[in-house]
Amino acid sequence: MSATVAVLVAYLLVLIALAIWSRRETDSLSGFFLAGKKLPYWVVAFSTNATGESGWLLLGLTGMGYAVGAQAYWVVVGEVIGIALSWTLISRRLKRLSDETDSITLPDVIAARFNDSKHILRSIAVVIILTMVCAYVTAQMVASGKALSSFIGMDYTSAVIVGAVIIIAYTFVGGYKAVAYTDVVQGVLMLGGLIIVPAVAISTAGGWQSVTSNLAAQDPGLLSMWHITDSGFPGWIALVSFLAIGLPFLGVPQLMVRFMSARDEDELKKARILSVIVILLFDVGAVTAGMAGRALFPGLDDAETIFPLLSTELFPPLITGVMMVVVLSAIMSTVDSLLLLASSAVVRDTLQKIVGSSRSDKTLAGYGKFVTILIGVIGVAFAIGEVKFIFWFVLFAWSGLGAAFGPVIICMLYYKRTTLPGVAAGMLGGFLTSVIWVLVFKAGTYELYEMIPGFIVGMTLTLLVSRITRER
């Protein structure tokens, strides 16, 4: 057995051990989907970051650093601002409301806040979540296929299937608790990889000055964050779009449930500091690795393979194995959370609340486990067709969820006169605007990131319809 494969096997054994350790929590819906709301701050912080970043970080953002250089640091700025605002504005208020209403899912909280007895808001939320999660899971399965094929030479289809089986298995066995604690392991590995790989790449290239000299010879614009604005108005649109990538942190459900799962509000205060520091290190490391990689290996056909390439070319097999695990960690830490999110939408929100199933929590939790398998299989089926651009495909799903839920969560928590029709209009308007923008308008608007019009429309409709429909 090669050293690379041995490291992978050891990593999988750790995941299996965590899943078995966590399985006692999976006999209830609260346990399976929220770990009983008992998680400490360091687990919440790492789980939030690992879930929010995904294969997009290790493959997409490093590829972006490779392709456009320092301009990609605008994404870093946007993400740090976005997650800081989410912790500051959303986390504690949402946690308090979820505890007061005994909620397990984000649709639970929204439905309880607006006394949604007809399940209007819950139904809209379920449709949006399932639609976007399928797109999101597909992108992550594609990333796992790229990663395994790049590191160990496995053919793409087999790599997608192997990655999916691993993720589905430990999510099935251990539920949210297993997912959260494996996120810690995966987050630490990601952090280590994003410090070590750019450092070694820069050293191999002869130091940062050599890297910058090399990049300047290729294209001086690779070294300036502001080079993006040299093209005038289209450049400013691109800059604003990069900054807006952090906006979905204010509402994507897979992150909101992290806040709900914390032991208490004090844990969230401590988690905020750790989370912001770690995401800054994540993102700076990813962009820098891409830039150093371009100095070492210019002319790649697929920029999103630069991190695996650096890992295989610059390190001995044992460390290469660790770096492969780092990439898989980024992917797994998001897919497992998405599988649980979709499962909770089907079991808790649809079967138990909308349909009104009287089956026991233990039985429904069992159904939840099988739904994770079903969603995973759907993701694999689409992924085998191979989506080539992970960065943009993930952004599509990320923005769809963010535009649907971000504006209504802010209004729900801060504007007391928000109404049920306002929230319904905001969710549908934000979601549909982001999707239609991609399909119809994006190409003709200098690629303006769909989250921007989606968020604006979602917020406007929530406030406007609430004002029209509230009792006077």
Q: How far is CA 121 from CA 212, 252, 347, 420, in A?
A: 52, 16, 16, 8
pLDDT (tens digit per residue) in 137-176: 877 787 777 777 777 778 888 888 888 888 777 777 767 7
- pLDDT exceeds 90 at position 359: no
- CB-CB contact of 276 with 41 (8 Å): no
182 vs 438: CA distance, rounded Å:
34
Specify which residues 39 forms β-bridges with. Answer: 262
Furthest C-alpha separation in the chain? 73
Give the model's confidence band at 394: pLDDT under 50 very low, under 70 low, under 90 confident, else very high.
Answer: low
CATH of the domain at 262: 1.20.1730.10
User: Is the CB of residue 24 less than 8 Å from the CB of residue 174?
Assistant: no
Burial bucket for residue 460 (CB in 10 Å: 0-12, 13-18, 19+): middle
Helices (H) and strands (E) in the chain, counts: 19, 0
Domain that holds residue 82: 3-469
SS3 annotation, 226-240? HHHHHHCHHHHHHHH
Domain count, the chain: 1
Model pLDDT, residue 83: 96
Could you give the C-alpha distances from 448 to 71, 304, 456, in angstroms and in order? 16, 22, 13
**162-201: burial string, b at 16+ Cβ within 10 Å, e else:** bbbebbbbbbbbbbbbbbbbbbbbbbebbbebbbbbbebb
CA atoms lying within 13 Å on the CB side of residue 276: 16
> Looking at the whole model, is its pTM more than 0.85?
yes
What is the Cα–Cα distance from 262 to 94, expressed in whole angstroms?
A: 11
* Per-residue pLDDT tens over the stretch 90-136: 999 999 999 999 999 999 999 999 999 999 999 999 999 988 888 77
